[in-house]
Amino acid sequence: MWNGERFLVEAVESVLSQTLTPLELLLVDDGSTDATPEIASGYAGRDSRVKVIRLERSGIAHALNAGIGAAQGRYVARMDADDISHPSRLQKQLAHLDANDGCVAVGSAVYVMDETGGHVGTSTYPEAHTEITQTLIDGRSNAMAHPTVMARRAALLAVGGYRPDSVPSEDLDLWFRLSRVGTLANLSEQLLRYRRHANAVSICERERQWIVGMGIVNEARGKEGLHPLEPRTPRASGSRVAAYHFECSRIALMTGPRIAAIRHAFASISADPSWPEPYVALTACAFPKWSLRALARLTAPFRSPYV
C-alpha cells in the first residue's frame, strides 16, 4: 500500500473482522508519505495479528513479494488498501482450496463501489479453470480480480512471485504462470467491495496497462503456437476524473442502478466535455439493460482486447 490513509481503516477492519481464525495481517507500506505508517503502527500496537512491513518506495511488485516472503501461513490472500472484504471471504476461499488440492489460486466476484462507497454495480469472472485460461489467452479481460485472490504460498514461491517488469499488469502475468502449475478458480459470490476512484492504477496507468498486458498475452500465445493479437487504440480522456466517472457509468449501465450510470456519465462530461465516450454512455441509459448486454455480446469480437 502507498499513501492509503483515506480508506485504510475500513480495509483493515474488514480483515480483522473475518470469520476465519486465526489469521495474520501483514500491512506492507511501500514508502508512504501520508498518515498510512501511523495508522498501520497503531493497529500493530493494539492487535497481535497485525504486522507492519515498512519499505522504501519500490513499487507494487516488490511490496507484494515482501508480503509473500514474510507470510507464515500456507495461504496468502491479498487486498488493496481501498477495498473491503466480506466477513466470510477468507473462510470461503480457504475452504475451496482445502477441498481442491490442484487449485493454486481462487478469486471471487466483486461488488463495485465508487470513491464515496456508493453502489456502482457488480463484476463477475469465469469460475472454471478452462474458462479462466481461455479468457486470458484470448485477451478478452483480466479473468481474476487481483484484490480478491487467495493463493497457495508454495505455488507463489514456485513461480517466482511477482515480476517487476510486468507492472502495471503484474497480476495478469502471475495468472498465466500460476495456471501452468495448477488450476485457477473464481467463486460466484461477491466477497469483496471493490472501490473505483480517480487515483486507481487502472485509471492512472490505463494506457501503459494495455501495452504491457498485450505483451504478456502475446508472449503466452506464442508459447501456445497462437498468432499474436492486434490491439486497437482506445479513445482515452486526458482527465483521470473523467476516466474514473466514465468507468463507473459503464459498469452501472450493465449491472448497477441506472441513476448511478446517469450521475457518473454527467460527472465525466463535466470533467472533460470534449471526450465522446461519456455521451455514448449517457445515451445508452435510455435503453434497457438486456438490450445493452445483447449488444455487448454481439460486438465483443470487434472490441479492443483487455489491454
Q: Are residues 213 and 243 in the same domain?
A: no
Q: Are residues 33 and 94 in the same domain?
A: yes
CB-based contacts of 67: which residues, under 8 Å, 6+ apart?
A: 26, 28, 53, 76, 78
pLDDT at 302 over 60: no
pLDDT at 167 over 90: yes
Q: Are residues 133 and 254 in the same domain?
A: no
Q: Are residues 216 and 241 in the same domain?
A: no
CA–CA distances in Å: residue 278 to residues 249, 260, 307: 8, 13, 20
Q: Are residues 188 and 237 in the same domain?
A: no
H-helix segments, the chain: 8-16, 36-46, 60-70, 89-99, 129-137, 153-158, 170-178, 201-204, 206-223, 240-255, 258-271, 277-284, 289-299
Domain assignment present for 33: yes
Query: Residue 300 burial by CB count (10 A; 0-12/13-18/19+): exposed, middle or buried?
Result: exposed
Phi first, then psi: give them for residue 218, nearest 5 degrees. Answer: -70, -30
Predicted local confidence at residue 304, as pLDDT: 53
Grid coordinates given for 7: 480508506
CB-based contacts of 117: which residues, under 8 Å, 6+ apart?
A: 193, 195
Average pLDDT, the chain: 93
Predicted local confidence at residue 307, as pLDDT: 41
Grid coordinates given for 185: 478458480
**Domain with 209 in it: what CATH number?**
3.90.550.10
Q: How many domains does the chain have?
A: 2
pLDDT at 75 over 90: yes
Helix, strand, coil percentages (3-state) for the chain, rounded to 5, are 50, 15, 35
pLDDT at 54 over 60: yes
Predicted local confidence at residue 245, as pLDDT: 96
Mean pLDDT confidence for 15-42: 96
Q: Are residues 121 and 240 in the same domain?
A: no
295 pLDDT band, cuts 50/70/90, is confident
Mean pLDDT confidence for 63-84: 97
Phi first, then psi: give them for residue 240, nearest 5 degrees. Answer: -65, -35
Which amino acid is it at 277?
E
Mean pLDDT confidence for 27-38: 96
Grid coordinates given for 282: 449517457
Query: Using alpha carbons only, what angle is made at residue 66 by residues 62 and 71, rounded to the nearest 5 degrees?
Result: 150
Q: What is the pLDDT of residues 211-261, one digit of tens each?
A: 899 999 999 999 999 999 986 656 677 799 999 999 999 999 999 999 999
User: Comparing 166-180, 191-205, 250-264, which segment has the lowest mean pLDDT?
Assistant: 191-205
Q: What domain range is 131 assigned to?
A: 8-220
Grid coordinates given for 205: 496507468
Mean pLDDT confidence for 67-91: 97
Q: Are residues 76 and 143 in the same domain?
A: yes
Query: 198, 220, 242 — which closes off a domain?
Result: 220
200 pLDDT band, cuts 50/70/90, is confident
Q: Write down the pTM of the prediction.
A: 0.92
